[in-house]
Amino acid sequence: MAIRAARSAGRIAARHFDERHRLEVHEKAPMDLVTSADIAVERELIEQLMRAYPDYAILAEESGRHDNRKAKGWQWIIDPIDGTANFAHGMPHFGISVALAKDGEVQAGLVFDPLRDELFVAEKGRGAFLNDRRIRVSDETRLAHALLATGFPFRKPKLKEPYLKAFAAMLQQTGELRRAGSASLDLAYVAAGRYDGYFEMRLSPWDIAAGVLLVTEAGGFVTDLNGGNAYLTSGDVVAGSPAMQPQVLDALRAVDLHRVIG
């Protein structure tokens, strides 16, 4: 059902992307955009998911929390367009993210890139797939040869200085760093072995809920900056292959990033 909903919402997103001159764009907060496409895509996702699972709760980026006393711990976590700034500027790199959690633990998730028609899907204990083909994290073992992804904490200006310190340290140790502007796709690309690792701070649950399951089901590791599993609540994520993730985490901890941001 989530796949059908995402594909239907993806058609709406693609249509809005082709007609960007008609977009209504607002600023929720400094550098945090929402467009009429975000609203339309989210509405389609919620309508379809609620029609199929009327008793499930929903946490959505734009409309917030839709609680349901009958949910019994089940909750959809939705990001209608992850990469809104890219979308609004005509950059064809954004994803639709849908996850299903039970008592706060993600059980299934998908990230859909409607422009490339790439559907990343994972179910707990059943592996991760890209368009029905099983995917695995990369086998790169050397940080100096790794291609890593990251994102800037633009919503938290006070974090810019410690983050830039960590960014500079990582740049000295790794092969390449990318900042593409969509956390859900960054994590999906780690799961598919396109990136060797990924780190970012202060994200929201809808940014990462589906992506972290993709990584773990593809054989990778995901932790917060303290090496724990509180990433959905802290929003701090370090992901990668079993060989790469500990190295990225150690490099970030070496500059005390986990202590600085608290």
Residues 113 and 70 in one domain: yes
From 134, 151, 167, give the residue that closes a domain.
134
Is 27 annotated in a binding site? The answer is no
Q: Is 207 among the annotated ligand-binding positions?
A: yes
CB 78 within 8 A of CB 45: yes
Q: Give this prediction's pTM.
A: 0.94
Residue 132 labelled as part of a binding site: no
* pLDDT tens digits along 64-107: 888 777 778 899 999 999 999 999 999 999 999 999 999 999 99
106 is in which domain, residue-wise? 2-134
Q: What is the pLDDT of residue 129?
A: 98
Q: Are residues 73 and 148 in the same domain?
A: no
In whole angstroms, give the CA distance from residue 153 to residue 48.
Answer: 32
Instruction: Tell whether 128 and 148 lie within a shared domain.
Output: no
Q: Is residue 176 annotated as involved in ligand binding?
A: no
| Structural domain count, the chain | 2
pLDDT band, residue 31 (cuts 50/70/90): low
CA distance to 140, 183, 190, per residue, from 175 (Å): 11, 20, 15
One domain for residues 150 and 191? yes
Q: What is the residue whose two structure tokens read 């709760």?
A: 57
Q: Is 186 assigned a ligand-binding role in the annotation?
A: no
Question: Poorest-confidence range of 95-99, 180-184, 241-245, 254-258?
Answer: 254-258
